């Protein structure tokens, strides 16, 4: 059985205020061409199909087109919701579409959707686990245990009360992402004689991150790879650079496009997974070629604007330009956009910016909270600290943005 593993399409995403829709349509078309050559039995879509819980109409249209094209080719689709998606909206129509071989994760209710596929080696069970948060898992299981103990209460009062008490304690102990995933995965009745495949969207400890992902301060969103020990392949989404975590068969395929300059040096790809008899899993990658690359350029204004410098390059790529001139160029962004229309960021690397950087490097950025980082930024910009009122406002705003982002 051959499967193409994709994740983190983030359809509708804007990068530095540039819409990625045209680039996303281009790359999905390329993926269909790969599918025509590779002839996979299925495509695994490991979450973050959209960039926002309420995606723009164009993004919905694009996903609709992509799923239809796969379905026309008789390629099964196994898609789950990620942290950027609304689980309910992704689940819409899932039972109808399942009949056509497009399987979308339902909203988590304590069970994990299983789809069985057959090939010459037997059955492959594909499990669709939507992105889960501890509060969601706790809520679902608390509700379940309440229901069960009520039923038991009618038959044997004493036993019912005990069971309720015992269950509640265990459910309340689902505090971390690791607890939540352990609970969700352990509820799956795995048949270990069959080949089992899991599609999931979580942050597995040890994976290396990049800037287009949502950073969770303190690393509380991490789960241990041992949770997945019984699966033959785990198709992961959430982390944007392709990599495996621990064994080769617990894998992030990465985004199909570069969504931040921290990814400029990466090569994006799709992962092809082939399962033969139980225990025989082979993995390969096929590189993707974007409509416009996302890359970094560095030099003086005179250098980067000389014809020799850019003649052999695609000047419509998405660019971050770092000028090394000691003096800022007046209207630099506008002037450079005449040559490089998709210039996204203009930075300077000179005496002034290096001095600023030293202040930031005193303490590792990752150890700080969003509020602390913003306080530093404010101080740098205004040469005075934030007032208590401003801090309170910012803190509330950060909280609000985080809630909306999840
Ligand atoms: Mn993502």
Digit-coded pLDDT (tens) for 250-280: 999 999 999 999 999 999 999 999 999 999 9
Cα of 330 vs centre of ligand 1, distance in Å, is 37
CA of 161 to the centre of ligand 1 (A): 43
d(CA 317, CA 343): 8
What local confidence, expressed as pLDDT, does residue 162 receive?
44
> Whole-prediction pTM value?
0.81
Distance, in Å, from the CA atom of 196 to the CA atom of 203, rounded to the nearest integer, reads 20
pLDDT above 80: residue 207:
no
The Å distance, Cα 48 to ligand 1 centre, comes to 5
8 Å CB contact between 77 and 99: no
Q: How far is the CA of 237 from the centre of ligand 1 (A)?
A: 7
pLDDT at 284 > cutoff 50: yes
**Does residue 94 surpass a pLDDT of 50?**
yes
Distance 85 CA to ligand 1 centre (A): 9
H helix or E strand, kind and range, residue 299: strand 294-299
Higher pLDDT, 366 or 244: 244
Cα 7 to ligand 1 centroid, rounded to whole Å:
8
Residues in CB range of 270: below 8 A, 6 or more apart = 4, 5, 6, 31, 34, 253, 256, 285, 286, 288
The gap between the terminal CA atoms of the chain, to the nearest Å, is 34
Structure tokens of 204?
């597995």
Say if residue 302's pLDDT is above 90: yes
Between CA 298 and CA 156 the distance in angstroms is 75
Percent of the chain with pLDDT over 70: 90
Cα(358) to ligand 1 centroid in Å equals: 31
pLDDT band at 348 (very low <50, low <70, confident <90, very high): very high
When pLDDT is averaged across residues 229-233 and rounded to a whole number, the result is 96
Which stretch of 131-145, 202-216, 269-283 has the lowest confidence by average pLDDT? Answer: 202-216
Residue with tokens 């939507």: 130
Calculate how far, in angstroms, residue 199's C-alpha sits from the geometric centre of ligand 1: 14
Q: What is the mean pLDDT of residues 344-373?
A: 77
CA 372 / ligand 1 centre spacing (Å): 25
C-alpha 390 to ligand 1 mean position (Å):
31
Angle at 136 between CA 130 and CA 139, to 5 degrees: 140
Classify residue 317 by its DSSP letter: S
Which protein residues have a CB closer than 5 Å to ligand 1 (ion)?
Answer: 8, 48
Tell me, in angstroms, the distance from the centre of ligand 1 to residue 404's CA: 15
Q: How far apart are CA 301 and CA 303, in angstroms?
A: 5
CA of 375 to the centre of ligand 1 (A): 27
394-402 own/partner pairs: CB under 8 Å, 24+ apart? 395/371, 398/370, 398/371, 398/374
* CA 46 to ligand 1 center in whole angstroms: 9
Token pair for residue 145? 């245990």
Separation of CA 158 and ligand 1 centre (Å): 48
Cα separation, 1 vs 162, whole angstroms: 47
Find the 285 Cα to ligand 1 centroid distance in Å.
Answer: 19
Flag the least confident range among 40-54, 195-209, 266-280, 300-314.
195-209
Cα(289) to ligand 1 centroid in Å equals 20
Q: How many CB atoms lie within 10 A of CB 271?
A: 23
* C-beta separation of 211 from 262 below 8 A: yes
């Amino acid at each position: 059985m051959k499967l193409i593993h994709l994740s983190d399409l983030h359809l509708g995403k804007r990068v530095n205020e540039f819409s990625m829709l045209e680039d996303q349509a281009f790359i999905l078309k390329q993926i269909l061409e790969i599918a025509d050559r590779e002839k996979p039995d299925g495509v695994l879509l490991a979450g973050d199909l959209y960039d926002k819980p309420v995606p723009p109409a164009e993004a919905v249209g694009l996903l609709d087109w992509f799923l239809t094209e796969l379905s026309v080719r008789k390629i099964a689709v196994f898609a789950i919701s990620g942290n950027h998606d609304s689980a309910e909206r992704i689940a819409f129509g899932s039972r109808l579409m399942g009949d056509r071989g497009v399987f979308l994760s339902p909203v988590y209710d304590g069970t994990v959707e299983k789809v069985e596929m057959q090939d010459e080696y037997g059955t492959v069970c594909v499990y669709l686990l939507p992105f889960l948060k501890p509060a969601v898992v706790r809520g679902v299981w608390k509700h379940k245990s309440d229901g069960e103990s009520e039923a038991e209460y009618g038959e044997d009062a004493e036993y019912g009360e005990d069971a309720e008490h015992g269950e509640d304690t265990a459910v309340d102990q689902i505090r971390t992402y690791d607890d939540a995933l352990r609970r969700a995965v352990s509820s799956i009745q795995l048949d270990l004689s069959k080949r089992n495949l899991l599609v999931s969207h979580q942050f597995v400890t040890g994976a290396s991150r990049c800037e287009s992902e949502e950073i969770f301060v303190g690393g509380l969103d991490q789960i241990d790879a041992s949770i997945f020990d019984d699966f033959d392949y785990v198709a992961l989404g959430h982390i944007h650079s392709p990599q495996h975590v621990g064994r080769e068969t617990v894998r992030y395929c990465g985004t199909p496009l570069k969504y931040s300059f921290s990814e400029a040096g990466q090569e994006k790809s799709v992962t092809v997974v082939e399962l033969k008899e139980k225990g025989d899993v082979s993995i390969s990658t096929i590189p993707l070629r974007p409509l416009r690359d996302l890359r970094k350029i560095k030099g003086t204004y005179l250098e980067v604007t000389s014809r020799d410098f850019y003649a052999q390059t695609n000047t419509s790529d998405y660019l971050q330009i770092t000028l090394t001139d000691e003096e800022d160029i007046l209207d630099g962004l506008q002037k450079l956009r005449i040559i490089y229309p998709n210039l996204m960021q203009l930075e300077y690397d000179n005496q002034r910016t290096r001095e600023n950087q030293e202040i930031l490097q005193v303490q590792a950025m990752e150890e700080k909270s969003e509020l602390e980082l913003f306080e530093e930024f404010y101080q740098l910009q205004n040469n005075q600290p934030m007032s208590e009122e401003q801090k309170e406002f910012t803190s509330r705003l950060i909280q609000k943005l985080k809630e909306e982002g999840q």
